Chain A
Amino acid sequence: MAGETSQSETVKEWDLKIYVAGETPKSRDAIANLRKVCEEYLKDRYSIQVIDLLKNPRLAAEDQIFAVPTVVRKLPEPLKKLIGDLSATEKVLVGLDIKPKV
């Protein structure tokens, strides 16, 4: 799970990281929810890196993580962070500033 990246290794328009703590049902739900939103609204334009802070605790300082699950939008800039329940699609779109398809 840690360091896992979906889609191809090419730089995508949307570069997202999701920080979780271990392989728990909640972690899996959070990752699945993010993928679902990205698939629906950023198809072929995103990459998601999953970072398990239990396996890679030092990576928490890189993005100043206070709590998980936290989604960090590296690209496009500016940096955005989203924290909380990712099942609320509308909130996720607002938080990551993803514009819904017209």
Chain B
Amino acid sequence: MITVLIVDNNTEFLRATARHLSSGKKFKVLCARSEDEAVKSLGTGAIDLVLANYDFPTTGGIALMNRLKADGIDVPVVFYARQVRKKMITEAIKAGAEFVLQLSDEPGAQFLELQTLIEELIHRRQVEDIQKRAADDLRAIVTQNADAIVVVDNKGTIQFVNPAAESLFNLSEEDMIGKMFGFPIILSEPVEVYVLREFRKFVAAEMRVVEVQWQGKPSFLVSIRDITWHVQLEEELSTARERLEAEAVDRSKDLLKAYQSIRDEVNERKNAEHALRESERKYRQIVELAQEGIWVVNKSGIIQFVNPRCAEMLGYTPEEMIGRLMYNFIDSSFISAQRAIMERRKQGLKESYDCILSKKDGSKLLAIANAAPILDNEGNYIGAMAMYTDITTRKKYEEDLKEAKSQVELYLDLMGHDIRNLMQIGIGYMELATDSQDMAEMKGLMAKSLESMRDTSQIIDNVRKLQDTSKITEMKPVNLCDILARLQTQYAMVGDRDVSVNLRTVPDCMVKANDLVTDVFSNLLNNSLKHSDPDKPLIINIKVDRIREKGKMYLRCEVEDNGPGISNWMKDKIYMRFQRGDTKAHGKGLGLHIARTLVEEYGGKMWVEDRIPGDYHQGAKFVIVLQAA
């Protein structure tokens, strides 16, 4: 719908014109009777065309045009008049009017013509507006573009430059238009050129060229983009890359050096580890093959390490010992001492000492221990190490040596004392016999000398027996009752003495002993005989019983007599070497010592009691207990 404003003060004309124009529904008609009214209506912006009376009474058409221009109102104006003169048309067109219409006397045709004219003018104005907008848009693109745009003709002469080009070349439009820029080489890709901006100052740029039509002529549109920053960036990147590459090379060299250094260090460490392992192997070999037992315990006394020899010494495997408390392998008799010893380890002291270990089979192992504490880098106690040398055999040898020495001393004593005495007695009697003229006296003296020699022989014999007892390694089943029976027979027929030997045995008389057991009982019977009053009858009672003690069977044998007995204070001493009894009987001093030694060797016991408890004068009773076989 086209909105038309009719400006006229002729009301009738206004109405008629409005009626005719709006009849076809294409036009909307507004009316204004004055210039002010017209300007006010135009101020709304809804008017498409002004139809005005050129001969407007107050100011005339040109004044209206001027008023519209002054107010910035750009709306097509068509004047009409009764009388249209050439000068009027010229003035109107010059003032900006679109057309001057002469009113005719045929309103119908006139209005039709007017409608057509208005439509045409509106259409044309619309097209112009569109073109103007397009041109404005294009102009904005070109002028606002950051890239420099230069249009040159086919000779290379500059036809147009945009503000960016003025800035890039540092020249004004006037300085550039009409100058020869140059024939641009057209390529599909941008070309790098250097724009001369100032004296000796070039700017790197990218040039693109396209063929265009400019003002109807074949031309070239040259678009130039400042890529200084890009080139700088590239140069910086290149420099940075070179620097990075150089740094990378340096770094690589550093890394290589570091790698080589690390490798050298690793090799050195490997060599050191190898040397350490080798050293450890050697020391381990020494420890493993050592003839001494070695163990290491932590500060709690738990065994951490044990060498094979140590385990072997104690009858265990190393695995049975590691992780266990060391006191499990110390003999109970030595545990207290061992605890005190460990306290000294904790004080940082090392020492050597004799100790007693406990073997798996329960037996003892005597050892010399060389022990030392183990300290950490700060000197704190973290454990101990001990080296054990088995001296059980040595101890035994020492004991044997001691025993042998003791025997030697005994032999010396015997040689130096008893035997010498008896020999002197014998020699004395022989000398007397040599001097005697009386045969009977001589015989008597010789008999005494013989007896003395026999006593000497007996002592030697006893010493031999004593020596034999210390060599007992095996016992055998011996029939005690048979031995006692023989002795009973032997001692029942002694010289002209009244001796009664009574024997009461049990059916099973087998004991663990050896042949020397005869001497034990023989000695007892001999003592009974020797120490009893020769003028009184001697009664010896021998009784054998089987007894059980702590689950084991024994034979208990009592040999009692009605002799003078043994006082209480003598009862222990009679077993001592060279100790004689209370009587003046001639004894050799070894008999009971040998007898008891033998019985103890057999695993038995021997002691003496009063035959009548509390009254030793009534005789003595020897009790011998032997293991049943």
Contact = CB atoms under 8 A, between A and B. Distances in A.
Do A and B come from the same complex?
A: yes
Contacts of B599: none
A84 interface: yes
Nearest to B183: A95
B301 interface: no
A82 B200 contact: no
Contact of A83 (B169, B182, B187, B200): B182
B229 interface: no
B266 to A, nearest CB: 49
Contacts of A85: 185, 187, 191
B196 A67 contact: yes
Contacts of A80: 156, 183
Contacts of A65: 196
Nearest to A53: B196
Given A54-B200, A57-B199, A84-B193, A67 B185 contact: no
Classify chain A's interface size: 20 to 34
Nearest to A95: B183
Nearest to A94: B183
A91 interface: yes
A47 interface: no
Contact of A26 (B182, B192, B205, B224): B192
B180 A68 contact: no
A57 B198 CA distance: 9
A83 B192 CA distance: 11
Main secondary structure of the interface of B (DSSP, over half): strand
A74 interface: no
A86 B185 CA distance: 8
A2 interface: no
A83 B185 CA distance: 6
A91 B187 CA distance: 9
B156 A81 contact: yes
A92 B187 CA distance: 11
A66 B205 CA distance: 12
A79 interface: yes
Most buried by A among B156, B194, B209: B194
Nearest to A96: B183
Interface in A6-59: 21, 26, 53-54, 57
B173 to A, nearest CB: 14
B186 interface: yes
B182 A53 contact: no
B184 interface: yes
Most buried by A among B156, B179, B200: B200
Interface in B184-243: 184-187, 191-196, 199-200, 202, 205, 207, 209, 224
B205 A67 contact: yes
Interface in B146-182: 156, 169, 179-182
A70 B185 contact: no
Contacts of B194: 21, 67-69
Contacts of B196: 21, 53, 60, 65-68
Most buried by A among B179, B193, B207: B193
A95 B193 contact: no
A80 B224 CA distance: 21
A85 B185 CA distance: 7
Nearest to A80: B183
Contact of A91 (B185, B192, B207): B185
Given A53-B200, A67-B195, A68-B194, A84 B184 contact: yes
A68 B191 CA distance: 11
A21 B187 CA distance: 22
B187 A88 contact: yes
Nearest to A55: B200
Contacts of A57: 199-200
A87 B180 CA distance: 22
B183 A82 contact: yes
Contacts of B202: 21, 53-54, 68
B470 to A, nearest CB: 118
Contacts of B186: 84, 91
A81 B182 CA distance: 4
A63 B182 CA distance: 10
Contacts of A54: 200, 202
B184 A83 contact: yes
B375 to A, nearest CB: 76
Nearest to A27: B194
Nearest to B203: A67
A20 B376 CA distance: 82
Given A21-B202, A60-B196, A79 B191 contact: no
A26 B181 CA distance: 20
B182 A88 contact: no
A95 B181 CA distance: 13
A68 B200 contact: no
Contacts of A70: 182
A86 B179 CA distance: 22
A53 B620 CA distance: 153
Nearest to A79: B180
Interface string B410-444: 00000000000000000000000000000000000
Given A65-B196, A83-B182, A84-B184, 8 more contacts: A53-B196, A64-B179, A66-B196, A68-B194, A82-B185, A83-B183, A85-B185, A85-B187
Interface of B: 156, 169, 179-187, 191-196, 199-200, 202, 205, 207, 209, 224
Q: Which 5 residue pairs spanning A and B have beta carbons closest together? A: A84-B185, A81-B182, A83-B182, A85-B191, A91-B185
Interface of A: 21, 26, 53-54, 57, 60, 64-70, 79-86, 88, 91-92, 95
10 contacts: A21-B196, A21-B202, A54-B202, A64-B179, A67-B182, A67-B224, A80-B156, A83-B185, A85-B187, A95-B185
